[in-house]
């Protein structure tokens, strides 16, 4: 994929998420690796509904900005994933409603944020780590991700939003959509006596699809 194609893809998929209400206003940010090892990043204050391919922040392989507008204030958060996960080709961060709602519940397991309701969240996300609340733009968010030593591809920032790293833009978008849909499902069935996937079923999915699943 050429850089121009990647720029177009970032903006097209960001608009798709915006149009479906996964993030609103000027919330959310997205980044992707370029072929030369640099990054394309959504600018600060921009909306997923109208990203301009020409205005994406452009960084070289040394992390020096060489073009575009000023990047998102969550740049350190994105960089933390790239620094700790060599497989990361894209990072998406949203302020999606149902995942944020679930992060506010007091009985959520911080080491495994999503309950095992379907195989798909396990396949696309592995275990999602719930991190504490940080002020938006706080560099400590990046430090918290680095503290995971690359063991998680997805985290949930309490009272803020999910962040997912994947091999490319498409995979990252599909994964974060799965995170939000699973969080939504968990809120819909909350208070009901539901049949969660059993440990044996989870193990089968993890083994069959070669999922990163830290104990």
**pLDDT digit string (tens) for 110-128?**
999 999 999 999 999 999 9
**Is 90 exceeded by the pLDDT of residue 214?**
no
Report the alpha-carbon angle 205-208-211, nearest 5.
65
CA distances from 107 to 102, 113, 136 (A): 10, 10, 24
| pLDDT reported for residue 116 | 97
| pLDDT reported for residue 179 | 98
Dump the DSSP string for 24-68: -TT--EEEEE-TTS-EEEPBTT--GGG--GGGSEEE-TTS-EEES
pLDDT band with cut points at 50, 70 and 90 for residue 134: very high
Closest CA to 42 of 20, 62, 13, 80: 13
Residues with Cβ < 8 Å from 207, sequence gap 6 or more? none
**Is 70 exceeded by the pLDDT of residue 140?**
yes
- Is 82 one of the catalytic residues? no
Report the alpha-carbon angle 74-78-83, nearest 5.
140
**pLDDT for 60-112, tens place per residue?**
999 999 999 999 999 999 999 999 999 999 999 999 999 999 999 999 999 99
**Is 80 exceeded by the pLDDT of residue 215?**
no
What b/e readout covers 129-168, taking b as 16+ CB neighbours within 10 angstroms?
A: bbbeebeeebeebbebbeebebebbbbbbbebbbbbbbee
Do residues 175 and 153 make contact, with C-beta atoms less than 8 angstroms apart?
yes
**pLDDT for 147-199, tens place per residue?**
999 999 999 999 999 999 999 999 999 999 999 999 999 999 999 999 999 99
Sheet with strand 154-157: strands edge to edge: 65-67, 57-59, 39-41, 29-33, 90-93, 161-166, 154-157, 129-131
Provide mean pLDDT across the span 20-33.
Answer: 96
Q: Are strands 161-166 and 154-157 parallel, antiparallel or unpaired?
A: antiparallel
**One of 82, 120, 133, 192 is an active-site residue; which one?**
120
Closest CA to 9 of 46, 51, 44: 51
Q: Which domains does the chain have, with CATH numbers?
A: 3-208 (3.40.225.10)
| pLDDT reported for residue 130 | 98
Provide mean pLDDT across the span 14-18.
Answer: 97
Residue with tokens 């706080």: 138
**Is 80 exceeded by the pLDDT of residue 58?**
yes
């Amino acid at each position: 994929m050429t850089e121009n194609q990647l720029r177009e893809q970032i903006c097209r998929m960001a608009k798709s998420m915006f149009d479906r209400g996964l993030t609103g206003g000027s919330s959310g940010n997205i980044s992707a690796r370029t072929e030369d090892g640099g990054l394309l990043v959504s600018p600060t204050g921009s909306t997923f509904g109208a990203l301009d391919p020409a205005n994406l922040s452009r960084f070289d392989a040394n992390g020096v900005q060489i073009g575009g507008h000023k990047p998102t204030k969550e740049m350190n958060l994105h960089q933390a994933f790239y620094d700790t996960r060599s497989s990361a080709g894209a990072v998406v961060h949203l302020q999606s409603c149902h995942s944020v709602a679930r992060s506010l519940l007091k009985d959520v397991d911080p080491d495994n944020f999503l309950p095992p309701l379907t195989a798909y969240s396990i396949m696309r996300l592995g275990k999602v780590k719930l991190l504490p609340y940080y002020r938006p733009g706080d560099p400590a968010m990046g430090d918290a991700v680095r503290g995971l030593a690359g063991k998680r591809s997805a985290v949930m920032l309490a009272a803020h939003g999910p962040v997912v790293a994947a091999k490319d833009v498409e995979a990252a978008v599909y994964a974060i959509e799965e995170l939000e849909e699973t969080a939504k499902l968990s809120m819909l069935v909350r208070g009901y006596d539901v049949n969660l996937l059993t440990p044996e079923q989870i193990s089968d999915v993890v083994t069959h699809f070669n999922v990163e699943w830290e104990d």
